[in-house]
Amino acid sequence: MEKIDLRTIKEQAGKEVEEAKELKDLDKVFKKYLGKKGKLAQIFSSLRNLGEKERAELGKEANRTRKFIEKKIKEKTPFISGAEISVSKGKKERFDVTVPGKKRLLGHLHPLTLIKRKAEEIFQTIGFSVVEGPEVENEWYNFDALNIPKNHPARDMWDTFYLKGGLLLRTHTSPNQIRYMEKNNPPFRIIVPGRIFRHEATDASHEINFYQLEGLMIGKDISAANFKAIIKEFLSKFFGKEIKIRLRPSYFPFTEPSFEVDINCLVCGGKGCKVCSKTGWLELMGAGMVHPSVLRAGGINPNYWQGFAFGIGIDRLAMMKYKINDIRLFYSGDLRFLEQF
Ligand code: PHE
């Protein structure tokens, strides 16, 4: 008999909470069931007259009912109080619709991302496809396949972060020359932008991680003259004006002949500054005609195919474009710097 009572109490209280429209209504429900003289209090005081077993049982059930009603009321409260506040605000307060709104800070792209995208766009207009490759490489792709055998002194050209299990952080984007040649047949022209790592001391023009943009063009009779024309075209589109460049003979195990491309330092206009080490020229990329051994390692017959490859420093492009005199600024996370882009 009491059990049924408790069940109806539970049902009724639940329904009344549902129907409550104002805080006042919830208060009423609380008093009616959970108050000092409320329905549950009555049940608790009637326990006295019961035998031990019944008392324990009913007591438990009554406690459960109390918890249930408390929970219902607690869940409903925020809905009602929120509604009341907004209703009363509307009545009492007036809004001045002419007050300027709060300005929200908008995020934006990192300068290196802007430069990378711009470079990709220009290369795409001259027929290059954009591909990507892994930052963690193995020695085969980073060195051996690029004609840099184990124990060859040329490995010292790249100070490398070695990982466990024969892996390493790629020291350049050149491994992607091999990765692409393995899966694709010439003729083709691609660029591979990406992050690379060097175990080096940092200074105004060196960082331990930075970005490169690899280029590879293979065809029947692609020559160094084609390379020069394409790079000149790229640079003048990128900077929006004629850019002075010079090709210096150089050495890379994976190109023959090899050269380095310098551009007139745009930070100082060629007068000499800390970015160009007071020379007026800045090394922007390494390049050359792809070595026959590299073509072979990529599964391409060097008797039929030839071409050029290059690796542009994206950070250096950005430094020239925005006239920034320290590469470390890109990685400093300093908002005073980043907000200028
Ligand atoms: N991978 C070379 C470097 O990181 C650059 C390069 C790329 C040179 C392609 C020649 C051809 O220094």
Pairing type for strands 255-264 and 281-290 reads antiparallel
Instruction: For the chain, list the domains and their CATH numbers.
Output: 2-94 (no CATH), 111-338 (3.30.930.10)
List all residues whose CB is within 6 A of at least one atom of ligand 1.
Answer: 172, 174, 252, 255, 286-288, 309-311
Residue 168 neighbours by CB under 8 Å, 6+ apart? 136, 137, 138, 139, 142, 160, 161, 162
CB 266 within 8 A of CB 287: no
Among protein residues, the one with the nearest Cα to ligand 1's atom 10 is 287
Q: Are 271 and 254 in contact (CB under 8 A)?
A: no
pLDDT at 312: 97
* Single pTM value for the model: 0.70
For the chain, the 3-state helix, strand and coil shares in percent, each to the nearest 5, are: 45, 20, 35
pLDDT at site 286: 97
- How far from the centroid of its chain's Cα atoms is residue 13's Cα? 53
Return the pLDDT at 1: 45
Q: Are 218 and 185 in contact (CB under 8 A)?
A: no
Nearest residue (by CA) to ligand 1, atom 9, is 310
Q: What is the pLDDT of residue 130?
A: 98
List the chain residues with pLDDT less than 70. 1-4, 81-93
Model pLDDT, residue 210: 95
Which of 252, 290, 291, 308 to mutate for ligand 1's pocket (most ligand atoms within 8 Å of CB)? Answer: 252
pLDDT at position 163 is 95
Atom of ligand 1 lying closest to residue 287 CA: 10
At position 84, the amino acid (one-letter code) is E
pLDDT tens-digit profile of 69-123? 999 988 888 777 665 555 555 556 677 788 888 888 888 999 999 999 999 999 9
pLDDT at 90: 57
Q: Are the CB atoms for 17 and 9 separated by under 8 Å?
A: no
pLDDT of residue 92: 60
Find the 142 Cα to ligand 1 centroid distance in Å.
Answer: 11
